[in-house]
Amino acid sequence: MDASIPVFEKPHPRISVLDWTRNIQRLQNEARLHRFESYELRQRANQLRNETSVTTRWDTYVNNELMRDRIFEVDSWRENQRFTREQVRDEIRALKEEKNATELHLESLQIPLMVVSQCLSNRDQRVPPELTRDQLGEELRKELHIIENSKRVLTDVCHMGWQKIKDLTNVFCRLEREIQNKDDCLMLEYHVKDLTRESSEISYKVDPTRIPPESSVDLWGVLLREVVVWGVSTNTAWWTKPPSVWEETRAL
């Protein structure tokens, strides 16, 4: 007897060879399309990366140049303010010496004033028949007037010198603060200039500068010029006194 062999088939519909070929071609086309899209995406990413790198390097170069200009400008202003500070310091020292010399001269006038006053008092103690208007009395009164006028002028000069020393001291303190601010600014500028992509402790700051909206570099330059001009004008104002005061001072 012939034995029969059982055959088991999957319960799925059968497709023709033509349909199977079409499915394979469709899968190949989809895979080719995805590969092309992936290639385009990689190319755009590579192009964007190159553009970003070029832009970053160029912006870094431009920023470094701007930082160099900024450092040079701040350093120039600092040296200018240092020079003005030294001038103000020398002027304060000279004014103090002149003020001390004027005060000593003012004190030295006290003895001649007492002598002339005593002489006039002694002459006024004479009896009425001896009270006369002679040349000696006129010379003593002239001498008394000259000494009192000299004391008045020297007192005014001392007061002017004290006022000028106070003004110059205020200018000197302000210049000291400005120079300290420039030192801090330069330290920060050098630190920022030395930063690179590989530097540590670099993070995004929401408001790193916190600069008021009304401030600008031009306004900053105007304020610096005002400080320097104020120091120079205060330093030279002492030598522009009224001519009458100088004539009276020289007459002493």
Asked whether residue 116 carries a pLDDT value surpassing 70, the answer given is yes
Residue 94: which of 170, 178, 168, 153 has the closest Cα?
168
SS3 content of the chain, % helix, strand, coil (to 5): 80, 0, 20
Please give the C-alpha separations between residue 113 and each of 101, 183, 251, in angstroms, as whole numbers: 19, 55, 17
Q: Is the dihedral of CA 76, 91, 225, 221 positive or negative?
A: positive
Predicted confidence (pLDDT) at residue 220 exceeds the cutoff of 80: no
Instruction: Quote the pLDDT of residue 189.
Output: 86
Q: Which residues contact 96 (CB under 8 A, 6 or more apart)?
A: 165
**Average pLDDT of the chain?**
79
Encode pLDDT of 3-21 as tens digits.
566 666 667 777 788 888 9
Q: Is the pLDDT of residue 127 over 70?
A: no
pLDDT at position 238 is 47
Distance between CA atoms of 13 and 232, rounded to whole angstroms?
104
Give every CB contact of residue 162 below 8 A, 6+ residues apart in sequence: 99
Threshold 0.75, pTM exceeds: no
What's the alpha-carbon Rg for the chain, to the nearest Å?
A: 47
